[in-house]
């Protein structure tokens, strides 16, 4: 299966379907899967791989049906999870799997009330002419999550499609649970970006615009790119990390990353700031769309007694990052 990491610098050519008023491929059947696909992690990739294999065998289109926002952001906004991938990155990663098309369903209040039966008949059968549906064995969908594998099988017998439930992909690190977006968020909350990368199948990547900060890093001798990440995107725990800064043109630069509230200077900062110090780099990054990959946790954030102690630690952090990255 193509490596989703390759989507980091460019968007693979793949059809994105948003109009479901009629069949996007008249006369053709599809093999499809459906879900939020937040993170497009190794478990998701295994399902898509089966979709592609079955589609090839059946001479059908391989399709991923997903949503333009996480359904929880509409159904239960007060407890909706922060996203591992924003919409653009999710589409890039799905394109990189080699699937023929991604169907993007607009999810709003009205959509949240559609019954599972109506959704299957309107979208999966009516528009996409499903020949086979591949999902995880614990799959639920529709209003109140009332749809499941058993319902799909009942509807499949009526409408002429097969249902293939797959066993959830087990973690390979000895932890007795499947690969999931929840497990990845839990790892991130503990700063375990190496664990998150193993579950994702690639390093976690945060995206945002480089904005002007207070210039304190430059004054200390460690200029940083201050990356403004949207609030709905998940970030690792506050701390110092080694990683890579990806520029829009595809250049990759090793960097030391500080994610936190800078307690040495600010007593009560109200949010964490992502600052990336690019090793051996000089140039203007303001305004560009940055992508920052987290590969290694170096240390927790802490308050220093003064500037000299902080600068000494920053020098150590940069060398630690250089060693970790082989740079």
pLDDT, tens digit (0-9, with 9 covering 90-100), for 43-80 = 999 999 999 999 999 999 999 999 999 999 999 999 99
Percentage of the residues of the chain whose pLDDT score is greater than 90: 82
Domain ranges of the chain: 4-166, 204-325
Q: What is the mean pLDDT of the chain?
A: 91
* Structure letter (DSSP) for residue 132: E
- The fold of 4-166 is Rossmann fold (3.40.50)
Predicted confidence at residue 189, as pLDDT, reads: 97
pLDDT, tens digit (0-9, with 9 covering 90-100), for 278-288 = 999 999 999 99
* Measured distance CA(123)–CA(133) in Å, rounded: 12
Would you call 162 a catalytic residue per the annotation? no
113-120: average pLDDT: 96
Q: Give how far Cα 63 sits from Cα of 17, 68, 151, 196, 211, Å.
A: 10, 15, 20, 26, 38
Please check whether the two domains, 4-166 and 204-325, share a CATH topology: no
Closest to 185 in 3D by CA, of 82, 58, 266, 288: 82
* Structure letter (DSSP) for residue 236: P
Question: Which CATH architecture fits 204-325?
Answer: Beta Barrel (2.40)
Q: Which helix (H) or strand (E) holds 73?
A: helix 72-75
183-199: average pLDDT: 98
Q: What's this model's pTM, rounded to 2 decimal places?
A: 0.89
Catalytic hit among 121, 275, 288, 301: 275
Q: Output 9-13 pairs: Cβ under 8 A, ≥24 positions apart.
A: 9/246, 9/250, 10/250, 11/91, 11/92, 11/95, 12/92, 12/95, 12/96, 12/98, 13/95
Q: State the first-to-last Cα distance of the chain, in angstroms, to the nearest integer.
A: 29
* Structure letter (DSSP) for residue 234: -
Structure tokens at 95: 């394109």
Is residue 112 classed as helix, strand or coil in its secondary structure? helix
307-311: average pLDDT: 87
């Amino acid at each position: 299966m193509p490596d989703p990491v390759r989507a980091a610098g460019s968007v693979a050519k793949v059809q994105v379907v948003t109009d479901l008023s009629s069949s996007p491929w008249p006369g053709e059947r599809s093999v499809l899967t459906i879900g939020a696909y937040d993170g497009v992690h190794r478990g998701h990739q295994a399902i898509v791989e089966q979709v592609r294999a079955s589609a090839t065998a059946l001479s059908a289109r391989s399709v991923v049906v997903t949503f333009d926002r996480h359904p929880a952001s509409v159904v239960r906004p007060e407890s909706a999870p922060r996203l591992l991938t924003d919409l653009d990155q999710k589409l890039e990663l799905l394109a990189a799997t080699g699937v023929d098309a991604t169907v993007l369903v607009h999810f709003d209040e009205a959509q949240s009330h559609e019954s599972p039966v109506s959704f299957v008949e309107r979208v999966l059968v009516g528009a996409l002419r499903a020949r086979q549906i591949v999902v995880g064995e614990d799959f639920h969908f529709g209003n109140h999550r009332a749809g499941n594998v058993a319902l799909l099988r009942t509807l499949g017998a009526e409408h002429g499609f097969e249902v293939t439930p797959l066993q959830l992909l087990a973690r390979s690190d000895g932890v007795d649970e499947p690969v999931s977006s929840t497990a990845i968020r839990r790892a991130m909350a503990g700063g375990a970006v190496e664990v998150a990368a193993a579950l994702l199948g690639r390093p976690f990547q945060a995206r945002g615009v480089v904005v002007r900060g207070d210039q304190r890093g430059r004054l200390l001798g460690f200029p940083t790119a201050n990356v403004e990440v949207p609030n709905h995107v998940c970030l690792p725990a506050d701390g110092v990390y080694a990683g890579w800064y990806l520029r829009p043109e595809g250049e990759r630069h090793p960097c030391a990353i500080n994610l936190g509230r800078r307690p040495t200077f600010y007593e009560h900062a109200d949010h964490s700031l992502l600052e990336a110090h690019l090793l051996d780099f000089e140039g203007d990054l303001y305004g560009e769309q940055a992508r920052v990959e987290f590969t290694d946790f170096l240390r927790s954030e802490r308050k220093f007694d003064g500037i000299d102690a902080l600068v000494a630690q920053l020098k150590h952090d940069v060398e630690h990052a250089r060693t970790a990255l082989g740079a």
